[in-house]
Amino acid sequence: MESLWLKLSMKKLSNPPIIEKTVHEHGITTPYEVNVFLATEAEMKKMLDGEYHDVLSFPLEFDKTYPDGIIRLGDIVICDQEKDIEFLAHHACLHLLGIHHK
């Protein structure tokens, strides 16, 4: 399934290992999909509200399994200027799993 973000010229990354660890720690053992992209600072500002964000998550339906048996959790977009990709990927993955700031 091609993501919308590929059409915006962002670089798709291989999922950092923290994604698999986080997903499994939250009980998902069946096939899943999370897309992780790098975007420029300008692209990050355009995506949501004109403000800079170091990471954005765009969840799909967490409790839905598609006909091919894959749970598609959503997309993560990280600014290419950020240094701690693992931390930001973990943070955004938690949002895709329905865990939000308190």
- pLDDT per residue over 29-80, tens digit each? 889 999 999 999 988 888 888 899 999 999 987 667 778 888 889 999 999 9
pTM equals: 0.85
Q: Tell me the domain boundaries of the chain.
A: 4-96
* Residues 70-87 pLDDT 10s: 888 999 999 999 999 999
CATH number, domain 4-96: 3.40.390.30
Among 25, 71, 72, 34, CA closest to 55: 34
- Torsion 37-43-46-51 (CA) sign: positive
CA triple 66-69-72, angle to 5 deg:
55
CA 40 to CA 44: how far, in whole Å? 6
Among 62, 63, 12, CA closest to 39: 12
CA 75 to CA 56: how far, in whole Å? 8
